[in-house]
Amino acid sequence: MTADGAVREGRVVVALGRRALSVQFRRAQLLMPTFVLPLMLLAVIASGTSAAQDLREFPDVGSYLAFIVPGTIIQGALLAGLTTGTAFAADIEFGFFDRLLAAPVHRTSLVIGRLAGTLGLSVLQSGFFLVVAFAFGARYPGGVSAIVVAVVLAAITALGIGGIASAIALRTGSLSLLQSIFPFVFVLLFTAPAFFPRELLAPALRDAAAYNPLTFVVEAVRGQLTGDGRLGDPWAGLAAAVGLAVVTTALATFALKERLRTA
Amino acid sequence: MSTPAAPPSLPVALALWRRSLNEVLRVRGALLPATIAPVVFLLGMSGQFGRLTGLDGFPTDSYLSWIVPLSCLQGAGFAGAATGSNLARDIEQGWFDRLLVAPVPRPLLLVGPILGGITRSLVPATVVLLVGLAVGAELPGGILGLIALYVACVGFCAIAGLWGVFMALTFRTQQAGPLMQQGVFLAVFLSTAYTPEVLLRGWLAGVAHLNPVTYVLELARQATVSGLEPSVGHTLPGLLALVGMFAALGGLALVGLRRMGR
């Protein structure tokens, strides 16, 4: 690809990313699950289970709210990714995607543009969650750099989940299917130590957590925000998030090629 | 010219009930989200927070037993809230306008869909209960406890249905769907969802004490929680809470219905 071509494709990616974000913010009902639901769960879990700090094996953390905020951030990333797939399926079902296919742009840019919107959404979400939690008493001893790392890890994770959701949307083109896989996203969340330390999970869940990439991401975010490296390794989190994003973006690109081949 | 006789109420209600049940038969996977979401929450929450039973004041040593009734109520509530989504669709597509001009009392138009929601809610409630029992929840309350659990689920489904109907009649669009679902979500989780009242801290302790769903949960937990044996003391507050919520939300739904077409 020439330099001019790369610039043109970059513009396409930015334009599609902006469109994905503006659609999200124009329809308030789409914001409810992505912005409000994780905060509601955070508020309820923070108040409903904070007695867990009295358990002998619970790590000594200054703020229980700060301990569980990483679970909320990753939940937001999951929902942002799923929203991407839902919007993708809507574009396919209502014919907008067919019009994009007729445009003289690289097909991969169509997928990457959509995922760029996911990145933007995730950054906004994570920032929002961190600010709200801070207002309610969470403190982040890891400092500004830790917050940046947490937001970046969440954004890459959202990209990864967006890749899976986009692949499903491209394979099926079904909006209703994407809407109904919402509960399965929570399987990924609950098989990671999202709200509780890994050592205190039920044995079966603890075993499953070892194979869930979100485990390493959520622990990395927790380690960063609390400033306690024993709670999570940032490099393991980064490797898990990037690995997930690379594999699922490849899946989405493959699904696009399959769709074009069979169309 | 003689005025045509109004059709009898019962057949109309039954016809609308059958129509709402057709959703389950004709729409593939219509019940899946309402069934799978509570099962996922049941397994996920019990796996995450199971060790909370080690805290002083927790009435049972099985967290699954504590959380099964919550998930049953959640499933029943989601099935009930779907009544509102279906009504919003009927309003958007003009079908409800045709029903409004029928020579039947308007409240009757809501009875069938609510009954349909209650019937549908038995599926998620039963699936969640069976999954819970299969993975280790206990059933110390026996038959009486089970009856209490199902009364709580059916009652809560009717209340969630009325909430959904009120939202549908107020906003008259399917886009109000998330509000209907999240109303149920909030009502359930702002209670003794995860831990008993003695272990709640901060604002949630006060809110849960005032939230009538806390007492509905206590009614339901007589089936599975060994510290809550079936008794009048554990049953009556839940029943009163159900009646109170039914009256309040039923009144709101009737107000919304009266405004339709004006």
Give the closest-approach CA distance of A148 to chain B in angstroms: 27
| pLDDT tens, position by position, B43-73 | 988 988 999 998 888 989 999 999 999 999 9
| Residue in chain B lying closest to A188 (CA) | B44
- Judged by a CB distance cut-off of 8 A, whether residue A173 touches chain B is no
- Look at B201 and A50 and tell me if their CB atoms are within 8 Å: yes
Mind telling me how many Å the CA of A40 is from chain B's nearest CA? 8
Mean pLDDT over all residues of chain B? Answer: 89
Q: Would you call B51 and A200 a contact, using CB atoms and an 8 Å cutoff?
A: yes
Chain B residues with CB under 8 Å of a chain A CB are 29, 32-33, 36-37, 39-41, 43-52, 54-55, 175-179, 182, 185-186, 189-190, 193-195, 199-205
pLDDT at position B177: 76
CA A210-A183-B133 angle, 5° bins:
80
A188 inside 8 A of chain B by CB: no
Residue B239 confidence class, pLDDT cut points 50, 70, 90 = very high
- Which pLDDT band holds residue B147 (cuts at 50, 70, 90)? very high
| Closest by Cβ to B195, choosing from A27, A51, A57 | A51
Contact A51 B199 (CB under 8 A): yes
B5: pLDDT confidence band, cut at 50, 70 and 90? low
Q: Is pLDDT larger for residue B182 or for residue A192? A: A192
Please tell me the distance in Å from B16's CA to the nearest CA on chain A: 25
Task: Please answer yes or no on whether B49 and A47 come within 8 Å at the CB atom.
Answer: no
Contacts by A129-133, CB closer than 8 A, 24 or more apart:
A129/A38, A129/A39, A129/A42, A129/A69, A129/A72, A129/A73, A129/A76, A130/A69, A130/A73, A132/A39, A133/A42, A133/A65, A133/A66, A133/A69, A133/A72
B120-129 burial: b if 16+ Cβ within 10 Å, else e: bbbbbbbbbb
Contacts of B37 in chain A (CB under 8 A): 182-183, 186
pLDDT of residue A69: 95
Q: Looking at residue A215, what is its pLDDT?
A: 96
pLDDT average, residue stretch B19-34 = 72
pLDDT value of residue B191: 94
- The CB density around residue B219, as the number of other CB atoms within 10 Å, is 29
pLDDT-derived band of residue B167, with 50, 70 and 90 as boundaries?
very high
pLDDT of A172 reads 86
Greater confidence (B201 vs A67) lies with A67
- Say which residues have a Cβ less than 8 Å from residue B115's Cβ, sequence separation at least 6: B13, B17, B20
Under the banding of pLDDT at 50, 70 and 90, the label for residue B262 is: low
Distance from CA of B2 to the nearest CA of A (A): 49
pLDDT in tens, B204-231: 899 999 999 999 999 999 999 987 888 9
Q: Is A44 on the interface with B (CB under 8 A)?
A: yes
pLDDT of A6: 82
Whether residue B201 has pLDDT greater than 90? no
The pLDDT value recorded for residue A128 is 95
Nearest to A44 among B36, B177, B190 (CB): B190
**pLDDT of residue B1 exceeding 60:** no
Task: Find chain A residues with C-beta within 8 A of B54's C-beta.
Answer: 55
Q: Where does the pLDDT of residue B143 fall: very low under 50, low under 70, confident under 90, or very high at 90 and above?
A: very high
Rounded to a whole number of angstroms, the distance from the CA of A125 to the nearest CA of chain B is 19
- Tell me if A57 sits within 8 A of A199, measured CB to CB: yes
Put simply, the answer to whether A54 touches B177 (Cβ < 8 Å) is: no
Of A174-178, B129-133, B161-165, least confident by mean pLDDT is A174-178
State whether B194 and A45 contact (CB < 8 Å). Answer: yes
pTM of the predicted structure, to 2 decimals: 0.81
Asked whether residue B181 carries a pLDDT value surpassing 90, the answer given is: no
Positions of chain A with pLDDT under 50: none
Q: Do B48 and A204 touch (CB under 8 A)?
A: no
- So what's the ipTM on this one? 0.75
Per-residue confidence (pLDDT) for residue A90, from 0 to 100: 83
Task: Write down the domain spans for chain A.
Answer: 3-50+60-262
Mark yes or no for CB contact B48/A201 under 8 Å.
Answer: yes
